[in-house]
Chain A
Amino acid sequence: MSPSAKNGDRRRMLEIRNLSVSVQDKVILDGLSLNVNAGEVAAIMGPNGSGKSTLAYVIAGKPGYEVASGEIFLDGENVLALEPNERALRGVFLAFQYPTEIPGVGAMTFLKAALNAQRRARGESDLTTPDFMRRVREAAQALKIDQEMLRRPLNVGFSGGEKKRFEVLQMALLAPRVGILDETDSGLDIDALRIVAHGVNALRAPDRAFLVITHYQRLLDHIKPDVVHVMAKGRIVATGGPELALELERDGYRDYAEEAA
């Protein structure tokens, strides 16, 4: 049976089944299962060390993680055996918690290379420079990113807020199927948080899903989730509506940490 079977009338976009992952013999994800439907914003909350970032990396295909069992379906296709760039070309986008610096490579140059790589994979021609510039300018304005920043080398000397805004800018231009935000709120002041959240909200669409990984409720004040999953000790231990995030904010993670133990 196709794993993309209908769930009610909403299409299942990301489906993770019984995923167990270890790093250097230490089990990080322990039989995790998770479904995210098209059009949905799913929040993943959990205490430090619960495996949230590992989940993000494994979905994106980062090397160094040993998958002992399980499957990850994107639009019904098992992507576990695919290279990271093949997954990216199928629409997986990861907004990094700590975006990497690449000295000497202009942010704009990088954007263009990434965008054109994805266009070519879809059989489209490269964007002309004026077209590209126009798109970047529009997307950058919405995120209050000034042109000067785009001329700098990728993430080099960017402030925490600039890095996060640049991640969202890339997401806006690459228009993924599944956007994973890994602790995008960390290191942001309230103004930057609003801008970033606004950028993400503008990308919400019926044929796109978001996995919003966060430790704190405050990001979810600005990006309203449809579903909240609580993660502890490498698996999903509770699922509920937005009110679940508020509960966590009030009571902390202690109950869940014990439950999973």
Chain B
Amino acid sequence: MAADQETVDRVRSIDVDAYKYGFVSPIESDMAPKGLSEDTVRFISMKKEEPEWLLEWRLEAFRRWLTMDEPKWARVSYPPIDYQDIYYFAAPKSSPAPRSLDEVDPELLRTYAKLGIPLVEQEILAGVERPRVAVDAVFDSVSIATTFKAELARAGVIFCSFSEAVQKHPELVRRYLGSVVPPTDNFYATLNSAVFSDGSFVYVPPGVRCPMELSTYFRINEKNTGQFERTLIIADKGSYVSYLEGCTAPKRDENQLHAAVVELITLDDAEIKYSTVQNWYPGDAQGRGGIYNFVTKRGDCRGARSKISWTQVETGSAITWKYPSCILRGEASRGEFYSIAISNGHQQVDSGTKMIHLGRNTTSRIISKGVAAGKSQNTYRGQVSAHRLATGARNFTNCDSLLIGQDCGAHTVPYIEAKNSSAVIEHEATTSKVSEEQMFYCLQRGLSAEEATALIVNGFVRDVLQQLPMEFAVEAQKLISISLEGSVG
């Protein structure tokens, strides 16, 4: 684990107030007026030259949203959000879409360079051989660079920005949009349905194994700009795709609202593996600022024997409200959820999953590792339900919490529901502390307290880290150590 030392060095070199990715790029925006109204929705739709049906879809969601209240059941607290004090659309000001990196605003490229985003296309042009990862970079709201398009196209895989998909593949978008997370689903998802700006779209045709990992880096840039991504991934019969999502955000003082929606659909025998490393600004040492992350992620195993696997490493955000879920509709379909949620400082995490077993012989597996340090609160909230027709359904849940220090909290809230007698649902949960014995053992061998904590925590989350693609696992390990900075003293 050579990354260990690197991580420790980074832990040392960073403190909460000097959040590494805290910078704001001076790029002019073509913004919608502040606030939310039907006009805002129309503005966004017009800007994106959307068809009439999509505008109507948005407006319907907006009208519905006006009648809804924010959910209050999560174990998080924050001052009321003024939804009229937010910009709902911001796009980097540039003329027609760039045809190559040369045409991309150099400021954007510098921003990516600071973030260390591998815009693989640069290397391809320079003739560098590397593992192939296609990046659809989302800068604020509009995708600015898409790589490997040609090769993906050869395989028949569609990977583009959501806006582009609306223009070029309206029939696919129309068929699947909102079919997993309906526009009426919940307060934040409904808000997203009204004002979503952009995101990624993936379609993998029948029998195709996507030739590379697909990757999107999200970045929140404009001040006061809520981000409302919309991602839709469809794996047609017998296909496979692995999708990586990674996030960093610049430092800022005001809280930033983020309410994304991700919908995954697998048809017969298809598989989607969706991995997230989330490192948004968690707020300063006093708990000021930081991202509010209210995300709805859901997969629908629509086809028989299909599989959806969520893997997430959550280290950032002031508040995380996130439950990547699977609807196991197809016979013998399978859902998986692997999660590492690290909280430090004043972070609040309420995260987990839902496994809804509808079809016969469906299986699911949940491995959740929560690590709480500082004054943070870390809640696992999970629902496993086996419905009347889901005979032979099986679930295994393992939910471990690790506490570092005296002032943090870990909570486990499982909801388990079996409506047929042949379902087997297993739930295991543990809560432990980094023990003095473990710390002393490490220190006695010459490790510092920070090194020891990083080592012990990385051991604790290992089962989940192993689920991540290689490059992502290394990155995740770094983030884990960075986010625990200052937790030992």
Chain A interfacial positions (CB closer than 8 Å to B): 60-64, 83-85, 88-89, 92-94, 96, 99-100, 102-106, 109-110, 112-114, 116-118, 121, 126, 129, 153-154, 170, 174
How far in angstroms is the closest Cβ of chain B from A202?
20
Check if A94 sits within 8 Å of B444, measured CB to CB.
yes
Is B131 on the interface with A (CB-CB < 8 A)? Answer: no
> Contact flags (1/0) for B413-451 with A, using CB distance below 8 Å?
000000000000000000000011110111111111101
Complex CA–CA separation, A102 to B436 (angstroms):
12
Check if B441 sits within 8 Å of A113, measured CB to CB.
no
* A121 cross-chain contacts in B, Cβ below 8 A: 446
Check if B455 sits within 8 Å of A174, measured CB to CB.
no
Set A84, A105, A116: member contacting B440, Cβ < 8 A: A84
**Given A110-B455, A112-B1, A113-B455, A103-B460 contact (CB < 8 Å):** yes
Check if A113 sits within 8 Å of B4, measured CB to CB.
yes
**Given A85-B448, A153-B459, A102-B438 contact (CB < 8 Å):** yes
Chain B interfacial positions (CB closer than 8 Å to A): 1-2, 4-5, 435-438, 440-449, 451, 455-456, 458-463
**Given A113-B451, A116-B5, A117-B451, A174-B446 contact (CB < 8 Å):** yes
* B2 cross-chain contacts in A, Cβ below 8 A: 129
A-B contact count (CB 8 A): 89
How far in angstroms is the closest Cβ of chain A from B1?
5
Q: Which partner residue on chain B sits nearest A104 by CB separation?
A: B459
Complex CA–CA separation, A106 to B459 (angstroms):
8
Check if B461 sits within 8 Å of A104, measured CB to CB.
yes
* B461 cross-chain contacts in A, Cβ below 8 A: 104
Check if B447 sits within 8 Å of A104, measured CB to CB.
no
How far in angstroms is the closest Cβ of chain A from B68?
42
* B437 cross-chain contacts in A, Cβ below 8 A: 100
How far in angstroms is the closest Cβ of chain B from A256?
30
Q: Which partner residue on chain A sits nearest B1 by CB separation?
A: A109
Set B438, B448, B455: member contacting A100, Cβ < 8 A: B438
Complex CA–CA separation, A106 to B440 (angstroms):
17
Set B446, B456, B462, B463: member contacting A85, Cβ < 8 A: B446
Offer 6 A-B interface pairs, CB within 8 angstroms, sorted by A: A61-B444, A85-B446, A102-B455, A109-B1, A110-B442, A110-B455
Q: Which partner residue on chain B sits nearest A94 by CB separation?
A: B444
* B459 cross-chain contacts in A, Cβ below 8 A: 102-105, 153-154
Complex CA–CA separation, A126 to B446 (angstroms):
14
Dominant secondary structure of chain B at its interface with chain A: helix
With A105-B459, A113-B4 given, can you name 7 additional A-B contacts, CB distance below 8 Å? A61-B443, A84-B443, A88-B444, A88-B446, A105-B456, A113-B451, A174-B445
Check if B441 sits within 8 Å of A85, measured CB to CB.
no
How far in angstroms is the closest Cβ of chain A from B398?
13
Check if A63 sits within 8 Å of B5, measured CB to CB.
no
* B436 cross-chain contacts in A, Cβ below 8 A: 63-64
* A126 cross-chain contacts in B, Cβ below 8 A: 5
* B460 cross-chain contacts in A, Cβ below 8 A: 103-104
Check if A83 sits within 8 Å of B443, measured CB to CB.
yes
How far in angstroms is the closest Cβ of chain B from A112?
7
How far in angstroms is the closest Cβ of chain A from B448?
6
Set A63, A92, A94, A117: member contacting B448, Cβ < 8 A: A117
* A109 cross-chain contacts in B, Cβ below 8 A: 1, 4, 455
How far in angstroms is the closest Cβ of chain B from A49?
21
How far in angstroms is the closest Cβ of chain B from A60?
5
Check if A60 sits within 8 Å of B444, measured CB to CB.
yes
* A102 cross-chain contacts in B, Cβ below 8 A: 438, 441-442, 455-456, 459
**Given A100-B435, A100-B437, A84-B5 contact (CB < 8 Å):** no
* B443 cross-chain contacts in A, Cβ below 8 A: 61, 83-85, 88
Complex CA–CA separation, A92 to B445 (angstroms):
9
* B458 cross-chain contacts in A, Cβ below 8 A: 104-105
* B5 cross-chain contacts in A, Cβ below 8 A: 113, 116, 126
Complex CA–CA separation, A189 to B162 (angstroms):
68
How far in angstroms is the closest Cβ of chain B from A242?
29
Check if B441 sits within 8 Å of A89, measured CB to CB.
no
Complex CA–CA separation, A62 to B451 (angstroms):
17
Complex CA–CA separation, A110 to B443 (angstroms):
12
Check if B440 sits within 8 Å of A62, measured CB to CB.
yes
Check if A104 sits within 8 Å of B462, measured CB to CB.
yes
* A174 cross-chain contacts in B, Cβ below 8 A: 445-446
Q: Which partner residue on chain A sits nearest B457 by CB separation?
A: A104
Check if B441 sits within 8 Å of A170, measured CB to CB.
no
